[in-house]
Structure 1
Amino acid sequence: MKNSRGVWASIAMIGAMVCVPQWVQAGSDDSAASAPDSAQSPARSPEQIHVQPGVPRSSQPALSGKALDAHVLTQLKQRFDAADTDHTGRISVDQARSAGWGYLVNHFGQIDKAGRGTVSFDEIASYMRGMGARM
């Protein structure tokens, strides 16, 4: 009985090795027809990028430079304030998790260097700047 299980496991493994690449290839053929390959297509200006029907276009000009940095910082602060449900100016890993802030949950131990169990907005922003974010 043990030998037959090993044989069936080997057959299943070989079948997966043969079939999966074919399924992946078939799936990539379908997706290639619906969306251009960004690695092969040249860079396009924002005016040339296709927007799906029903997606409203912004009437605001595109942000760049210091305006973009300030916008990112404002969005981060708003997200922090929404997670700070007890309005202490600090959030816990549970508050970050409840707010759906996976990045903060995943890096909480690195941000909370003092080991208090909570982090401030400034600690988060400082950590992100140290990781290369412009804010």
Structure 2
Amino acid sequence: MKNSRGVCALIVTIGAMVSIPQLAYAGSDDGAASAPDSAQSPARSPEQIHVQPGVPRSSQPALSGKALDAHVLTQLKQRFDAADTDHVGRISIDQARSAGWGYLVNHFSQIDKAGRGTVSFDEIANYMRGMGARM
């Protein structure tokens, strides 16, 4: 008898879990119950990134390997050049802070091993490679 009550409770629980989503669709504007349109809202796993409707998909293939490494290095160089407002090939901690480059600000003393108060792009890239970045 005890096992049959457990089985009944399990069946009721499963039935409720199956019925609740159906009840949500029963309250639609036209009063008719309807299931979601799978073409409009495909099932997604939690690991997928949600892209807002209307955002165009990239026509470029995803980067990987050496192409990705080169892209990261280019992006890093562009960020360095934007922070190097005096165009001398070195930036100070204040320039990094003004550029919103928190990572560089937080690690500035480790990158500036010579204690000059400025760092070059190569010093930043070498530090990041030493920390495991592939560039």
List structure 1 runs of 4+ shifted beyond 2 angstroms: 35-38
The superposition leaves residues 44-92 of structure 1 with CA deviations (integer Å, 9 ceiling, x where unpaired) of 6xxxx54222433211110000000000000000000000000000000
SS of the residue corresponding to residue 113 of structure 1 reads coil
Structure 2 residue ranges without an equivalent (≥5): 1-43
Q: How do 1:14-93 residues align onto structure 2 when only pairs under 5 Å count?
A: 37-38=46-47, 49-93=49-93
Structure 1 residue ranges without an equivalent (≥5): 1-34, 39-43
TM-score normalized by structure 2? 0.64
Q: Which has the larger radius of gyration?
A: 2
2:99 equivalent in structure 1 = 99
TM-score normalized by structure 1? 0.64
Determine which structure has greater relative contact order: mean sequence separation of CA pairs < 8 Å that are 6+ residues apart, divided by chain length: 1
2:127 equivalent in structure 1 = 127
SS of the residue corresponding to residue 119 of structure 2 reads strand
Number of residue-to-residue matches in the alignment = 92
Instruction: Specify which structure has the higher proportion of helix.
Output: 1
